[in-house]
Amino acid sequence: MLLRVEAIVRDEKYEDVKAALDAIGVNGFTVSQVMGCGIQKGYAEKVRGSEFDVVMQPKIKFDIVVSSREWAQKTMETIRSAAKTDEVGDGKIFVSEILEVMRIRTGETGYDAINEPEE
């Protein structure tokens, strides 16, 4: 089963999350700089946010496609421990199903496209 773990974290947690993902041995990930807001619409993260406008905060998004539920769970827990400060704005993790993946070099699809060849 191919699953995508999409995590939006504080930008200052970028190095910690990257190191933690590397440490558990995920086979690849994509990082993007994004802007967003959550339930507080950005207010609580500003010293004095505007009363009327949604305040967008810079965040970092990690995208990791894994090939089992166990890996999705492990990836989520790893990101949570690395990204957590207990303050509002720590971020969110979304998991969704991926229909297909192809490794461009070899044309391999599915599980084989995510994992190393078995010896």
Residue number closest to ligand ATP, CB atom: 36
Q: Does the protein bind ligand ATP through residue 59 (CB under 6 A)? A: yes
Comparison of 18 and 41: residue with beta carbon closer to Mg ion: 41
Contact string 6-35 vs ligand ATP (x = CB under 6 A): --x-------------------------x-
Instruction: Report how far residue 82's alpha carbon sits from residue 57's, in angstroms, rounded to the nearest whole number.
Output: 19
Rg for the chain, CA atoms, rounded:
16
| CB distance 49 to 43 below 8 Å | yes
Residue number closest to Mg ion, CB atom: 38
Within residues 25-84, the interface with Mg ion by CB under 5 A covers: 38-40
Q: CB-side exposure of 53: number of CA atoms within 13 Å?
A: 8
